[in-house]
Structure 1
């Protein structure tokens, strides 16, 4: 079971408030705060979709780039020896360091290894 929603690459949380007897959530992994709620799962899903669409429309109206959950770039600090070995491996395979690291991350996530 997963407790998140997805629409156009945006993910939303699914929460329950016992005090208010309502489902609610927010768009995850963006700096802007966008929330939604619903009386049922169907309502929550619909309101999440409307929240994403409304957020994207608002960004167009304000002439600003919408925040994205992931940019595709992240900085990883590793030991210099490992960095060197990865560069050597990339050169041996006539590939880039980005390609080598992408393959390694895909393998890690697919196979479910833990660090």
Structure 2
């Protein structure tokens, strides 16, 4: 886990890309970063946060601003759905939590792009 200015980064290893990949898990926006070494992933995480803060500061949507949040939502899945999610996450080399977060982010990106 990485921490910078209240933003939390979670890092996984992508075996297909043979690269460390990270995601900021407590941002209202999808923020991702990557690197080949621990030093590089940390540097790119900090840069991602700093760039995000600058972009939000400069944007016309200043009333919202860039904020981090820490929140949890419990999700109850049927055993059949949970089994399918576990198998899909395992095939992709992800944890269930990471896979679900990516799926939700992808679905929301598609939804808000269509508006």
Q: Aligned-pair distance for 1:35?
A: 0.6
Aligned partners of 1:9 and 1:30: how far apart in 2?
10
2:17 counterpart SS class:
coil
Report runs of 4+ in structure 1 exceeding 2 Å deviation.
none
Aligned partners of 1:10 and 1:34: how far apart in 2?
10
Show the counterpart of 1:15. 12
Show the counterpart of 2:68. 68
Show the counterpart of 1:44. 41
Alignment of 1:1-115 (within 5 A): 4-63=1-60, 64=62, 65-70=65-70
Which protein shows a greater Rg? 1
Contact persistence 1:32–1:67 (CA under 8 A)? no
Count of residues paired in the alignment: 69
- Cα RMSD (Å) of the superposition? 1.8
Segments of 5+ residues of structure 1 without an aligned counterpart are 72-115
Segments of 5+ residues of structure 2 without an aligned counterpart are 72-115
Contact persistence 1:6–1:12 (CA under 8 A)? yes
1:14 counterpart SS class:
strand
Aligned partners of 2:27 and 2:45: how far apart in 1?
14
Q: Aligned-pair distance for 1:67?
A: 2.8
Q: TM-score, normalized by length of structure 1? A: 0.56
